[in-house]
Structure 1
Amino acid sequence: MLTAAAVAFAVAVVSVICWFLVQGKLYEEIDSKLSGQIFNQTVSPTTLRNNLSDCRAPEMPGNFGEQTSPYYAQLVQSDGTTCVRSGAGTIKVTAADRALAKSRSGRFDKYRDGTDSRGRAVRVVTAHVLLDPGTPYPDIVQMVAYPLADTQKTLNELALLLLGVSGAGVLGAGAAGLWIARAGLKPVDELTEAVEHVARTEDLTVRIPVEGEDEIARLSRSFNSMTAALGDSRDRQAQLIADAGHELRTPLTSLRTNVELLARSEETGRPIPPDDRRALMASVKAQMTELAALIGDLQELSRSEATHPAESLGVVALHDIAAAALGRARLRGPELTFTADLRPWYVQAEPAALERAVINVLDNAVKFSPPAGAVEVALRGGRLTVRDHGPGIPADDLPHVFERFWRSSSARSLPGSGLGLSIVARTVQQSGGDIALTPAPGGGTEAVIRIPGAATPPPDSPPSHEA
């Protein structure tokens, strides 16, 4: 409709302009013909008086022109008396014509539209009759006219032609606009149907065919990317729930069994031997600790996935975070020997998440270190290394160490949820870095974290505090 309206407006403007231009051109030609029919040369007063004396009425023209001429020609005195020079008919005299006869101005009147005695449209020009000395004859003017029937017929035919062409153009533009709109909006209809299908069925496998490089194609690609990302997120969520349920089942089963043993002992009145009771209570406490750790890791993992890192990034002194994490690791492994070489390095990261990641790496080193073992920590040029002297990680297990809930066979007997390294990897990646675990020379494991940054803080960053 907008296309048809725009074309209709444009065609209407062009048609009106064209019609007026043709009308002006036709009238210009008629005016040129009329100027050739008036007295362009002076006449003698005697000739003029003789012709006036022969005029008795408009139906009795003088002998100044041919009877078959299409032109109207007549002489008009100031009192309205008319002398017809041509047999085409009589022109209606107006007050302006009589006023011109009295004025003796010697000028031409304006070309105008008029009518003859029968009411037919004519083009009229009125002018003074000039005598031999070049002065206007007193109280008399000449009027010449040309019939406009043919001209009006031509203009009417042109108007009909323009109207027909305009109507055809508007209809054609409307049909073309409708076809283009339907063709152009077809991908939008497909996108709408896909969105409605997803909203109705929650089926995120729907994909829209993409053709071309226009805005609709970009929108379709964005929709496909969005549904793919949502599908992956839902799959990861489902997998996380399934893995969490699996991991929670074991400690909950063990905890339930121990609690039932204690409850049955109370109900039956058969006391459990003190050593067994202490072992049961220690097992319950360990299972509760493991559940609390697992729930905390799940909360941390869900928070890191839901929060956009760009919203909380800031300049962080990695050496300060590593020093603080090292202090906590010493408390957890007082029998271990810790060596540290931490050089200044500033990165863009979320402080709390990055500290949690470094603590997790150090906790793994403490967990797998032998009694009275050593843990070596170094930070040089943005490369943070944590090396332990434990049993190491088998080569077959290295590709899986950053998977959620995965634990090697040697670590299943140790406390932990299997989410620590997964959280570390996600945090480091959100900061633009990477992490790798490799066997260390001489035994043990070396964790290497690389995060881009600088040895000096930016000018606008807050000062750091060395630990």
Structure 2
Amino acid sequence: MSTLVRRLRALPLRSRLALLVAVAVAAAVAAVAVTCWFITRTQLYAQMDRELHNQVGSLSQSSRQQQFGLINCTALTGQPKDLPGPTIQVISSDGGACTWRGVSAIPAQPSDVAVANGDADDALHTTDAENGAAMRVLTVPVVDGDHNRVVGTAISIASPLDEVTEPLATLAWVLLAVGGIGVVGATAAGLWIARTGLRPVDQLTDAVEHVAATEDLTVRIPVEGDDEIARLSASFNSMAASLASSRELQQQLIADAGHELRTPLTSMRTNIELLTRSEETGRAIPPDDRKALMASVKAQMTELAALIGDLQELSRSGLTGTEGPLKVVSLHETARQALERARLRGPELKILAELAPWYVRAEPAALERAIINLLDNAVKFSPPGATVEVHLMRGVLTVRDHGPGIPADELPHVFDRFWRSPTARALPGSGLGLSIVARTVEGYGGEVTLAAADGGGTVATMRLPGAPTPPPGPPADAFEDFENS
């Protein structure tokens, strides 16, 4: 059995479908044919039995007395009468059989003797005659003129079973031929149906093989109808489009990263070459210039490290851009910690904060980094002595600065990777901070926007859905106020 299963699995799918269709049709045809044959057999036997009963009833009383008056058939001489019709015999109580009409005698059966002795009303059975012919025999008692039963004598009427078996044999051959033709036709139809139904699968297979061989993600499969095959084709087209978009984004990320890395590396290389040439030639660089070169190298290394960190953060797996599990996090506490770090980066600024308790489901480190990026953006563009206002209420965190603001035509690009405003290219940064913020917040089911603030500056708004229940712990104050001293 296991060998047969392995061989079936080795066949192509269309061959297996055709084989299954053929087997199913063959089983159905066989069931119908066998049922039809048995029903016909039952009907033919019933018809023969009715004819035997009718023939017994058609014998007149006078004819019976004439034919069966002598219990031992002493009035009969010579061979049995070879007349048309059934075979007729007289059965005695001792089991003897006297054939009155028929070609060959039929041995009496115990059921026939029981009828002759008055132990049974009638007997119906199948018996072979002395010449080997199968006969259907009906045995009934003999009655006299007064309709009284004559004990010790019975009459048997028999018909050859050829009248039933020959039509049944013919019917069996006809059913076998029709069933065979049906199975062959079903197999051919199954092959055609399998080939037609699996044509979209063949197209899908060809497309997948083409993509695997050429890495061409522009291949699309025509979608016809709305069945499962159409859904599969549409899913493949959607997957191919997503992969193509992902590849384009990856290539763009590599190109942008290479461009951003080239600037600090080139500057760093130039400065290092100047220092190296000074050592090789023995021509000392003035102390002030050397100090400036070293400061430039350090700043470029810091910028390079920050850029690499942003790239790593942006390339982490998962929808949220983080690898850690999601937890119920207090947004107000995370914002407070981010504010402490922002004060260190802008000690000359005045940062005002009003934070109401709010809990979200997020990864703590990624959420804090997103808030820090928003605050860094505000610190970077705020003039010395300016104020940065941070407000959290019902899951809406706003960061408002009083800097130069962002032109309206640049707002749609602020969350693009490596995008930097032409007026801000001289400032430190990689152009990835806001992109990381957008990816993180959207991964948590929220949204982030930047807009021009009334009176100048920019307001960044982060919205995050609340967690079902806050984590256990002491209740937080209604508001927490923070201000630089």
TM-score of the pair, normalised by structure 1: 0.90
CA distance in 2, matches of 1:278, 1:176: 88
Is 2:217–2:243's contact at 8 Å kept on the other side of the alignment? yes
Q: Which residue of 1 aligns with 2:76?
A: 55
Is 2:352–2:390's contact at 8 Å kept on the other side of the alignment? yes
Is 2:335–2:371's contact at 8 Å kept on the other side of the alignment? yes
Is 1:186 equivalent to 2:207 in the alignment?
no
User: Which of the numbers 463, 466, 471 marks the counterpart of 1:461?
Assistant: 471
Relative distance call for 1:324 and 1:170 in structure 2 (3 A) is: same
Q: Which residue of 1 aligns with 2:437?
A: 424
Greater shift in the superposed pair: 376-385 or 256-265: 376-385
Cα shift at 1:440:
1.9
Gaps of 5+ in 2: 1-18, 481-485
CA distance in 1, matches of 2:91, 2:344: 129
User: Which of the numbers 93, 100, 106 marks the counterpart of 2:107?
Assistant: 93
- 1:278-318 Cα offsets, whole Å, 9 max, x none, are 00000000000000000000000001567677983333222
User: Which of the numbers 22, 38, 44 marks the counterpart of 2:40?
Assistant: 22
The percent identity for this pair of structures is: 57
Q: Secondary structure in 2 aligned to 1:303?
A: coil
CA distance in 2, matches of 1:178, 1:56: 72
CA distance in 2, matches of 1:323, 1:101: 113
Is 1:143 equivalent to 2:192 in the alignment?
no
Is 1:74–1:90's contact at 8 Å kept on the other side of the alignment? no
- 1:159-178 Cα offsets, whole Å, 9 max, x none, are 22222221222222222222
Cα shift at 1:207:
1.4
Is 1:100–1:141's contact at 8 Å kept on the other side of the alignment? no
- 1:177-207 Cα offsets, whole Å, 9 max, x none, are 2211111111112112222222222222221
Matches within 5 A, 1:172-183: 172-183=185-196
- 1:118-150 Cα offsets, whole Å, 9 max, x none, are 333332122333446766545443221113333
- 1:53-105 Cα offsets, whole Å, 9 max, x none, are 12345x144xxxxx63321111133556543322x323321453674377441
Is 1:33 equivalent to 2:48 in the alignment?
no
Cα shift at 1:117:
4.1
Relative distance call for 1:365 and 1:304 in structure 2 (3 A) is: farther
Cα shift at 1:46:
11
1:28 partner amino acid: A
Q: Which residue of 2 aligns with 1:6?
A: 24
Aligned residues: 456
User: Which of the numbers 203, 208, 220 marks the counterpart of 2:216?
Assistant: 203
Q: Secondary structure in 1 aligned to 2:292?
A: helix
Is 1:450 equivalent to 2:463 in the alignment?
yes
Relative distance call for 1:105 and 1:266 in structure 2 (3 A) is: same
Is 1:68 equivalent to 2:83 in the alignment?
yes
TM-score of the pair, normalised by structure 2: 0.86
1:16 partner amino acid: V
Q: Which residue of 2 aligns with 1:216?
A: 229
Is 1:316–1:349's contact at 8 Å kept on the other side of the alignment? yes
Is 2:91–2:113's contact at 8 Å kept on the other side of the alignment? no
Is 1:375 equivalent to 2:396 in the alignment?
no
Q: Secondary structure in 1 aligned to 2:405?
A: coil
Relative distance call for 1:171 and 1:46 in structure 2 (3 A) is: closer
Is 2:319–2:443's contact at 8 Å kept on the other side of the alignment? no
Is 2:332–2:356's contact at 8 Å kept on the other side of the alignment? yes
Q: Secondary structure in 2 aligned to 1:36?
A: helix
1:105 partner amino acid: D
- 1:401-460 Cα offsets, whole Å, 9 max, x none, are 11111111221111111101111111121122222222222222221222233xxx6346
User: Which of the numbers 154, 158, 166 marks the counterpart of 2:167?
Assistant: 154
Relative distance call for 1:25 and 1:324 in structure 2 (3 A) is: same
Q: Which residue of 2 aligns with 1:64?
A: none
Q: Secondary structure in 2 aligned to 1:218?
A: helix
Q: Secondary structure in 2 aligned to 1:53?
A: coil
Matches within 5 A, 1:48-447: 48-49=69-70, 52-56=73-77, 59-61=79-81, 68-78=83-93, 81-86=96-101, 88-96=102-110, 99-100=113-114, 103-109=117-123, 111-131=124-144, 137-303=150-316, 312-447=325-460
Q: Secondary structure in 1 aligned to 2:424?
A: coil
CA distance in 1, matches of 2:413, 2:147: 119
Relative distance call for 1:92 and 1:51 in structure 2 (3 A) is: closer
Root-mean-square deviation over aligned CA pairs: 2.6
- 1:371-428 Cα offsets, whole Å, 9 max, x none, are 1121111112322111111222222322221111111122111111110111111112
